[in-house]
């Protein structure tokens, strides 16, 4: 059977259209031209268009679920239940109205994802975001107990701490702003020139690595530059998507 005969027999049979779960071409306002070559082009164009739209839809709906969370390969060094950990990170991030990449970045910066990490400068800080002893006490727990928790359990306390400063100073606006809640909360919402530590103070010497400009001062601007340099992917993430979710679920 040649192509012309195939199209003539196919499109002259009403049962062909009626057997499909979609309207027939005439019902959709498409009249099959007598010129079989033109009909072939039209059908090919429809097929290509549908495949293109399906491919785009499939990519948009499946990519986020298949994509590994930022820095997860680093976390796997210390985290045993990696799937539970990722789920918890996403949950806490949504409640805080921040991208999960931000939470991953600040935890890596503070502890390399070691939930039992102790500050090497003997400050007594412990855990994923380095809870200070006084801070832990104010929250009704001790650093000793925090250090013995699983990652997933400790993330509940990470949320409690970060939400406390969200309520006090407002929503987190950037990765640097988010990190400041851990490092120096009262510096949140300050200008880039605001000084956190200055030489020759002990605090400056303990945090000299944060002085990006090497000018004897650690400023809000230094923190922003540092987070952009070390975590460029997380730095570029915005808060909009999770903020809308958080507002509906508070």
Q: At which of 45, 66, 87 does a domain end? A: 66
Residues 76 and 58 in one domain: no
Query: Is 165 domain-assigned?
Result: yes
Buried (b) or exposed (e) across 181-200, using 16+ Cβ within 10 A?
A: bbbbeebbebeeebebbeee
Same-domain pairing of 37 and 148: no
Report pLDDT for 245. Answer: 41
CB 228, CB 109: distance < 8 Å:
no
Bridge partners (DSSP) listed for residue 217: 198
Per-residue model confidence (pLDDT) at position 62: 43
Say if pTM beats, i.e. exceeds, 0.85.
no
Last residue of a domain, one of 18, 37, 66: 66
Q: What is the pLDDT of residues 103-118, one digit of tens each?
A: 999 999 999 999 999 9
Phi-psi category of 188—alpha, beta or left, where left has phi over 0 and alpha has psi -120 to 50? Answer: beta
Q: Are residues 76 and 179 in the same domain?
A: yes
Task: Give yes or no: residues 177 and 88 share one domain.
Answer: yes
- Is it true that the peptide bond before 200 is cis, omega within 30 degrees of 0? yes
Phi, psi for residue 165 in degrees, rounded to 5 = -80, -20
* 78 shares its domain with 174: yes
Shared domain for 127 and 47, answered yes or no, is no
User: Among residues 27, 89, 164, 216, which one has the least CA distance to residue 208?
Assistant: 216
Same domain for 185 and 139:
yes
Question: Based on the domain organization, do 123 and 183 belong to the same domain?
Answer: yes
Range of the domain at 111: 72-189+231-243
Residue-wise pLDDT tens digits, 161-219: 999 999 999 999 999 999 999 999 999 999 999 999 999 999 999 999 999 999 999 99
């Amino acid at each position: 059977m040649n192509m012309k005969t195939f199209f003539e027999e196919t499109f002259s049979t009403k049962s062909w259209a009626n057997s499909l779960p979609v309207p027939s071409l005439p019902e959709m306002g498409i009249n099959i031209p007598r010129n079989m070559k033109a009909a072939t082009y039209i059908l090919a164009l429809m097929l290509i268009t549908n495949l293109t739209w399906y491919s785009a839809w499939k990519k948009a709906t499946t990519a986020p679920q298949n994509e590994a969370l930022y820095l997860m390969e680093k976390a796997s060094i210390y985290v045993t239940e990696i799937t539970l950990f990722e789920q918890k990170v996403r949950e806490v991030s949504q409640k805080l109205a921040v991208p999960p990449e931000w939470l991953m970045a600040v935890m890596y910066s503070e502890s390399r994802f070691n939930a039992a990490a102790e500050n090497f400068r003997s400050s007594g800080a412990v855990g994923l975001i380095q809870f200070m002893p006084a801070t832990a006490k104010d929250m009704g727990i001790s650093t000793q107990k925090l250090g013995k928790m699983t990652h997933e359990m400790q993330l509940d306390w990470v949320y409690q701490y970060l939400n406390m400063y969200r309520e006090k100073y407002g929503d987190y606006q950037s990765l640097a702003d988010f990190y400041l809640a851990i490092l120096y909360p009262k510096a949140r919402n300050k200008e880039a020139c605001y000084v956190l530590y200055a030489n020759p103070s002990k605090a400056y010497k303990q945090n000299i690595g944060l002085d990006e400009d090497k000018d004897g001062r650690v400023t809000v601007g230094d923190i922003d530059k540092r987070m952009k340099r070390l975590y460029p992917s997380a730095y570029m993430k915005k808060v909009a998507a999770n903020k809308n979710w958080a507002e509906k679920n508070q």
